Amino acid sequence: MKNLRPLGTLLLALIFTTSVFAQQSKKRELLSFEAFEAKLNAAGKNAQILDARLPEEYVQNHLEGAVSFSIADKTDFEKQSAKLSKEKPVFIYSIGNGRSGVLAADLRAAGFKDVTEIPGGLSKWIGLGRPVISTTGKGLSRDEYTASLKSDKLVLVDFGSRYCPGCKRLDPTIDSIKTEQAANVKVIKIEAYENKSLVKELGVVGLPTLILYKNNEVVWQKKGGASKAEIEKALKGQTL
């Protein structure tokens, strides 16, 4: 019987750990975009909207009613969160759901009862044509964009942001392809948040997004990170 005690203790620990992990995973689950919008609208003036990006990103584009909430350290977090009500709903966004997820977890740990992230972040919000307060202008028109695609080569368009971690990780790969395949591929980089109308028209709802054109027609598209091998495979498939 004594030999069973350590096993029983181990099983209890495993059950507890699994339970905690399940609760954390459940908290991290994101609403559908439609459900998020409905919840935000229902909250009305009680909505506390937080922009988890850098202040300079906030200045460029932000949701109406949002406040800049870029937290540098624990002291800063405690100071800023003290200005909020733990009883009112909190809505958070970043470019995707990276920084917003970290802030959401911190707020829940601090006792905030109702914390919700924008599913897909600001990139999806803008890509779906939802309004923002902006200082960047509309950027390229659809006609100007279409004109830039005219080429005898394949055209690889990279929609990203200089503030997007995933975009930064992809940059060296895109630069490498631009150099190595200059004879076959024309590479165009688009700063998404400076071209909001274009992003909306093309339905770009995540960053980075790669779109490959051949004779002005889309032949391949990928949202999120892509390896060099994956991109090269897509390019090779159009040059055979």
Question: Which sequence positions are flagged as catalytic?
Answer: 164, 167
Mapped onto helix, strand or coil, the DSSP state of residue 50 is strand
From the list 60, 39, 29, 33, the residue with the least C-alpha distance to 206 is 33
Residues 69 and 106: beta-carbon distance below 8 Å = no
Distance CA 9, CA 221 (A): 51
Task: Sort strands 217-223 and 209-214 into parallel, antiparallel or unpaired.
Answer: antiparallel
Distance CA 205, CA 223 (A): 8
DSSP string, 173-218: HHHHHHHHTTTTEEEEEEEGGG-HHHHHHHT--SSSEEEEEETTEE
Residues 162 and 216: beta-carbon distance below 8 Å = no
Distance CA 130, CA 197 (A): 11
From the list 78, 103, 74, 109, the residue with the least C-alpha distance to 91 is 103
Residues 183 and 209: beta-carbon distance below 8 Å = no
Token representation of residue 193: 């948040």
